[in-house]
């Protein structure tokens, strides 16, 4: 691909610039003071500094084991390759279903020949076979695990929340509770759902976007969630504005008169430090410094391809500036610079460790039932959820 040109960048130059203008120190202070009050962050203060940026400061002496902060992430997504190994809530990433379902689902996908691109697990020395020596489990046994017709010994000591389906009927998102399903739907998923109840103008285009992200870089999924979050928040703010001020007819076109609502919807995203992705991404070891410019252009072209697919799927004329390549690049760059990996320990690993720690008098009989499943999983039994 040659140099990519996004017409939205030129058409909405002023609005894009306004969205990307860093907030002032007083604006940052005000934003976090409101957030601290909502989160009841006793003893913590976020203080912006012109030289070092934002910092979290303690105002009390915390004791060992004190809970310092409990908060929701702005946006998160399970790595696409990890979905094969870990069946978790699509909003809070808690493992769901049952120990039997977790094991059965993984073995079922294993039998289909599906494997994680970068899945990794290490033996804990509890007697499981390596991946090359995996035992095969009959299909009817796997189905019995998945259908709750077969219960493993002591699995009741590791209860997991029931599986709640997506509100839009897709088969990609599942949840640990109705509240998580509703929160994800209201915040992100209603625009990104590929089910019959999706708000996306084109679920076919959305499938192409997801396929492209899975084949190239799943950081695009995070960027899509940010744009979806902002659009949905904008719509809520606009509905409240219309109810308060009276009917407003924008003919589904971008209207500068209500641009402040888009700025408000974007506020939480504006607080993150940003640079364009293709400017801040680290140069891979196999790319020579003489090829740096070409590499960064390839990254920019890749982002443009992703953006075009996303635009076909969820474009909203009233939020047109969000589909600027400059905005998209800064969103991805924000994750490149600020992302934190979240690892959720697997209850399947805990289960097999529990079995291994049973008294010898109980262990032999129990392992006659559980060891074939452990051997079938191999080293993959211990893979955690990776977000």
pLDDT at residue 50, rounded to an integer: 78
pLDDT at residue 375, rounded to an integer: 94
pLDDT at residue 296, rounded to an integer: 94
CA distances from 306 to 4, 202, 231, 274, 348 (A): 12, 15, 18, 19, 35
Buried b (16+ CB within 10 A) or exposed e, 68-100: eeeeeebbbbbbbebbbbbbbbbbbbbbbbbbb
CA distances from 144 to 95, 110, 141, 218, 351 (A): 20, 16, 5, 33, 19
CA distances from 133 to 246, 368, 377 (A): 69, 18, 10
DSSP output for 325-376: HHHHHHHHHHHHHH----EE--HHHHHHHHHHTS-HHHHHHHHHHHHHHHHH
Give start and end residues of each alpha helix (H) in the chain: 7-11, 13-20, 25-39, 99-111, 139-146, 178-184, 190-192, 203-215, 219-245, 259-265, 267-270, 277-280, 292-314, 325-338, 347-356, 360-377
Contacting residues for 215 by C-beta, under 8 A, at least 6 apart:
none
Is the pTM higher than 0.85? The answer reads: yes
pLDDT at residue 385, rounded to an integer: 95
pLDDT at residue 201, rounded to an integer: 84
120/383 Cα distance (integer angstroms): 7
pLDDT at residue 39, rounded to an integer: 81
Mean pLDDT (the chain, rounded): 89
375/98 Cα distance (integer angstroms): 19
First and final C-alpha spacing in the chain: 31
DSSP output for 58-81: E-S-PPTT--------SS----GG
141/151 Cα distance (integer angstroms): 11
Beta bridge partners of 88: 95
State which residues of the chain have pLDDT below 50.
1, 115-125, 130-131
């Amino acid at each position: 691909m040659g140099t990519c040109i996004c017409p939205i960048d030129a058409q909405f130059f002023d609005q894009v610039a306004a969205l990307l203008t860093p907030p002032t120190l007083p604006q940052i202070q005000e934003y976090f003071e409101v957030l601290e009050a909502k989160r009841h962050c006793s003893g913590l203060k976020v203080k912006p500094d012109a030289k070092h940026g934002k910092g979290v400061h303690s105002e009390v002496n915390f004791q060992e084991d004190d809970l310092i902060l409990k908060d929701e992430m702005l946006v998160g997504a399970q790595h696409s390759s990890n979905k094969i190994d870990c069946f978790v809530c699509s909003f809070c990433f808690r493992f769901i279903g049952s120990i039997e379902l977790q094991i059965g689902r993984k073995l079922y996908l294993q039998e289909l020949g599906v494997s994680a691109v970068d899945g990794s697990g290490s033996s804990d020395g509890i007697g499981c076979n390596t991946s090359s020596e995996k035992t095969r489990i009959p299909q009817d046994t796997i189905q019995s695990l998945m259908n709750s017709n077969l219960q493993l010994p002591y699995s009741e000591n590791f209860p997991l929340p029931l599986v709640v389906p997506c509100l839009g009927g897709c088969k990609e998102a599942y949840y640990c509770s109705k509240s998580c399903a509703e929160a994800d739907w209201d915040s992100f998923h209603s625009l990104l759902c590929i089910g019959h109840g999706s708000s996306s103008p084109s679920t076919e285009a959305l499938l192409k976007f997801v396929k492209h992200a899975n084949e190239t870089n799943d950081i695009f999924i995070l960027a899509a969630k940010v744009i979806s979050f902002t659009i949905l928040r904008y719509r809520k703010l606009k509905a409240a504005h219309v109810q308060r001020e009276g009917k407003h007819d924008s003919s589904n076109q971008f209207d500068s008169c209500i641009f402040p609502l888009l700025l408000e919807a974007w506020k939480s995203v504006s607080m993150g430090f940003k640079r364009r992705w293709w400017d801040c991404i680290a140069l891979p070891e196999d790319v020579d410094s003489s090829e740096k410019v070409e590499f960064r252009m390839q990254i920019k072209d890749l982002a443009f391809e992703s953006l075009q697919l996303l635009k076909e799927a969820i474009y909203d004329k009233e939020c047109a500036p969000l589909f600027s390549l400059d905005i998209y690049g800064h969103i991805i760059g924000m994750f490149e610079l600020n992302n934190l990996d979240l690892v959720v320990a697997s209850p399947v690993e805990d289960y097999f460790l529990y079995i291994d720690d049973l008294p010898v008098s109980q262990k032999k009989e129990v392992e006659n039932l559980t060891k074939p499943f452990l051997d079938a999983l191999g080293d993959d039994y211990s893979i955690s959820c990776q977000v």
